[in-house]
Structure 1
Amino acid sequence: MSPPLPGPLAQLEPLLGHYGYWAVGAVVFVEDFGVPAPGETILLAAGVYAGTGRLNVVAVAVIAFVAAVAGDNLGYLIGRVGGRAFVHRWGKYVFLTPKRFEAAEAFFTRHGGKIVTVARFVEGLRQANGVIAGTTGMHWRRFLAFNALGAALWVGLWTTLAYLAGNHITTIYDEIRHYQLYVVIAVAVLLAAFVVRHVVRRRGQR
């Protein structure tokens, strides 16, 4: 018999044990259009399950990727059609208050399409990613490309780590989350440097 899931992952064991792949797809999907669901946690739990032979790791990755892209695209549609008024009216029910939304939107606007990829790894931005892209009027194909890249990296990282780490995943996950802020800052600095370089080059060509 396989050992139980470690740490906070254990809370999802009944859900995964009963619904398997359906649970992975559903939870990742709803999280990605704004519902506060444990998408990242269930992805880790499913990876551990795959590592113990209870699920197929390729199936977990494919289902999570499709669900992540589909969920964000639904969020994009909500933001594009409903706009800010819709978000301000209904966002509070999923903890997306107008203040939080405006802060996320400002950050998103400053950094452009590349933040769609990075946002996948940032709690809060991951859930609001598609909605913000829709409200800011980002072209859908551009959003789709960056979003798919982010989903592939996110699913690939956590599924592989959980699959290989097994019951040590909680410790590894905590360590990575501890340094996540530094990674985000480093990415932001790189993006800023890229923008400055681009602006300087354009001025030099005038």
Structure 2
Amino acid sequence: MNFETIVNLFSLHGYIILFGVLTIELIGAPTPGETILTYCGYLVFRGQLNYFLTIIIATSGVVLGITASYLLGILLNETIIDKYGKYIHLGSKNLEKVSNWFDKYGNHLLIFAYFIPGIRHITGYFSGITRISFSRFAANAYIGALIWTTTFITLGRLLGYNWNIVHTHLKDYFIISGITLIIGIFIYYKYTLKNKNTK
């Protein structure tokens, strides 16, 4: 679904479209989340939307979407990973190791992965597949959802008529920062695992 189509629907259905689009994005649909949120911030700037209500509705849509992907991840674990995981070195033993690591260190990923297109779409699934506890998943994923939606809605509100600058400058900054964080977590994980194996 392209941005122009979403804008046209938004003019007719407003908050309902915001909620629905963000829900299906976090389930895996290729929708421009940051663009939508920043545009909503611009509409807040123009007085067409309420700032706090927009954040609440946007965050609720994200929460519903990533929770659905988490539950689907649990289903995938039972039906697919158990059967075919060994072919991609993700058998039951390796899956348990990944699950333990993700349960211990994945909170940072769950919070900041929203800022990386493509990554935020799989963190819910991976959380379910690796069976991290729902309480830990929810605590971090839901906080991340609030931070992500508030950040881009606020940016759109502050930038006003220049709201689309996000897509030429700031978006790249967030992506680079997020990728750097994930690489750092991965290196730390590999280093820690290597040290444990040498002891």
Residues 90-129 of structure 1: pairs in structure 2 closer than 5 A: 112-129=106-123
Q: Check whether the contact 1:51–1:162 (CA below 8 A) recurs between aligned residues.
A: yes
**Which residue of structure 2 aligns with residue 40 of structure 1?**
34
SS in 1 for 2:122: helix
Corresponding letter in the other structure for 2:51? V
Deviation at 1:170, TM superposition (A): 1.1
The match for 1:140 is: 134
List per-residue Cα deviations over 1:162-185 (Å, max 9, x = no partner).
Answer: 011112111133201222343124
Contact between 2:115 and 2:175, CA under 8 Å: does it hold in 1? no
CA separation in 2, counterparts of 1:82 and 1:129?
14
Q: How far 1:122 moved relative to its partner?
A: 0.8
Matched letter for residue 58 of structure 2? A
CA distance in 2, matches of 1:78, 1:189: 26
- Alignment partner, residue 156 of structure 1: 150
**Paired AA for residue 24 in structure 1:** L
Q: For the residues of structure 2 that align with 1:42 and 1:86, how far apart are their CA atoms?
A: 34
1:75 and 2:69 are equivalent in the alignment:
yes
RMSD: 3.3
CA distance in 1, matches of 2:135, 2:9: 34
- Secondary structure, aligned partner of 1:32: helix
Q: Which amino acid aligns with 2:27?
A: F
Q: Give structure 1 stretches of 5+ with no counterpart.
A: 1-7, 88-98, 100-104
For 2:4 and 2:160, how far apart are their aligned partners in 1? Answer: 13
User: What percent of counterpart residues are identical?
Assistant: 25
Kindly state the Cα deviation for residue 36 of structure 1 after the two structures are TM-superposed. 2.0
TM-score, normalised on structure 1? 0.73
Q: Which amino acid aligns with 1:23?
A: I
Using the TM superposition, give the Cα deviation of residue 134 of structure 1 relative to its aligned residue in structure 2, in angstroms. 0.4
Range moving further from structure 2, 11-20 or 48-57: 11-20
Instruction: Choose 48-57 or 189-198, whichever is displaced more.
Output: 189-198
Q: Does 1:24 find its partner at 2:18?
A: yes
Q: How far, CA to CA, are the matches of 2:77 and 2:65 in structure 1? A: 17
Aligned residues: 180
